[in-house]
Amino acid sequence: MATEDGGEMAEGFEASVEGRDALLEIDVAVARNSLRAIEHVWFVAGEAMVRSPARDEAAGAAVKKGPWTPEEDQKLAEYVEKHGRGSWQRIPKLAGLNRCGKSCRLRWTNYLRPDIKRGKFTDEEEQLIIRLHSLLGNKWSSIAAKMPGRTDNEIKNYWNTHLRKKLLRMGIDPVTHRPAPANLNLLSSLLCPSAATHLGNALDPQVDVAHLLKLQLLQSILQLLTGSSATSPVAAAAAIAAAPNANLLDLQRSINIPLGSTNHSMNSLPMDEEASMEISSTNSFPAPAPAPEQAENSSTDATGEAWEDSDFWKDIIE
DNA sequence: AACGAATCCAACCGCTCCTCC
DNA sequence: AGGAGGAGCGGTTGGATTCGT
C-alpha cells in the first residue's frame, strides 16, 4: 500500500506485521466456509493493509485510505440512511469515520447505495454501453445515467477490461467506433469488381489464411453492426466503403437496420435534453450514403446469393 | 503443485466545474 | 469579477484473483 511519507511507512510496517501475524492464526480452510470468518479475515487483513497511512485524525494528519471494512461500511450506510447525504466533507466526522469526504462519497455512490445493481453485465447492457459510448465518448457518468443501477466506475471498468478489447478484436476502433482503416481497405477490396475472385480464392482449398481471416473479420464487423448475421454482408460492406467516416448509427441506417434492432431497450431510453440533441445531431448527419448500385447488383448475381446466405458465412468461419 | 502472466476491479488522485460569497 | 470550497468526473494504480504452463 502506498504511503504518503516515510514516517507513516514505519508505523504502517509495524501494523502490517501485526496484522499479518494475526491473519496467520486463522485457519484459512475453515474461514472460507464461514461468512463470519471471511469477514474476520477481511477485517484483520484490511487493518494490516490500510493502517499504514492512517494516523489519529486528532493529531492532525492523514485519514485512512484503502479498502473499506464492513464496520466502516455500516457506519457510513447508517449515517446516510438516517441523515441523508448532506455535505460529504462533514459526513466522516459526523459518522465517526476516519476517512476523507471524497472517499465516503465514492464508497457510497459506487458500493453502498441501495439501488446499485451488481453482477455481470447482460448482452443488452453491453450493446447499450457500446451504443452510448459511440454517442457520448468517455462520459461515463452520462452513460451511467442511462443505465439505472450501474455506476460510472463499474461501466468504465467494464469498458476498459471487456468491451474495448472486444471491439478491437472485431476490427472496430473503440474510440471512433469505426472500422479501422486497414479494414476499410479490405472491405473496399472485397467490393471491387474482382470481389468474386477473392471469394473464389477463399473457397479454394488452397486458399491462403489471410483471406479467411479477412472474411472472418468482415463477419465480425457485420455482427457488431447488425446484432445478427441476417443482414446482407454486401449491403453492409458497401455502406462502410461508401461512407468511411460514418459511425455505427449511420451505418446501421445505411443498410436499413431499424435503430432499435440491436438493442430494443435503446428506444425506451430516458434521454435527457443533451443526449437527445446529440443523438438528433447524429441523425442529421449528411444523408447516409445509399448503398452503391454495385452492391444492389451484386445481391442478385451468383456471388451475391452466396453473400446473402447466412449458412455460407457459418461454413466459412467453421 | 508451483510459479509467472494476465486480468479484474475497488479505490485513489488530480483536475475541472459549479456555487456561493 | 474573482477567490474559496465542495462536488463530481475521468484516468490510473495496485492488490486480489484467475489462468496458463
Q: Which nucleotide does the CA of A136 lie closest to, via C1'?
A: C10
For chain A, what are the domain ranges?
1-61, 68-114, 123-317
pLDDT at A56: 35
As a whole number of angstroms, the distance between CA A122 and CA A229 comes to: 20
CA A169 – C1' C14 distance (Å)? Answer: 27
Positions of strand B less than 7 angstroms from a protein CB: 7-14
CA A132 – C1' C10 distance (Å)? Answer: 16
- Contact flag, residue A159 CB and nucleic strand C, below 7 A: no
Could you report the per-residue pLDDT of A12-62, keeping only the tens digit for each?
333 333 333 333 333 333 333 333 333 333 333 333 333 233 333 333 456
Residue A172 has phi, psi (to 5 degrees) of: -105, 135
Is residue A197 within 8 Å of A243, Cβ to Cβ? no
Secondary structure E strands in A53-160: none
Q: Which residue has the cell 466506475?
A: A153
Cell numbers representing residue A185 in the block: 481497405
**Coil vs helix vs strand at A225:** helix
Tell me which of 3.40.50.1370, 1.10.287.130, 3.40.710.10, 1.10.10.60 is the CATH number of domain A68-114.
1.10.10.60
Could you report the per-residue pLDDT of A189-232, keeping only the tens digit for each?
544 444 434 443 433 333 344 444 555 555 555 555 444 444 44
As a whole number of angstroms, the distance between CA A264 and CA A266 comes to: 5
Calculate mean pLDDT across residues A110-124: 85
CA A160 – C1' C11 distance (Å)? Answer: 11
Strand-pairing partners, residue A179, are A172
Closest CA to A184 of A228, A134, A245: A245
CA A119 – C1' C21 distance (Å)? Answer: 31
pTM as predicted: 0.55
As a whole number of angstroms, the distance between CA A82 and CA A220 comes to: 51
Positions of strand C less than 7 angstroms from a protein CB: 5-16
- Contact flag, residue A161 CB and nucleic strand C, below 7 A: no
Cell numbers representing residue A226 in the block: 447488425
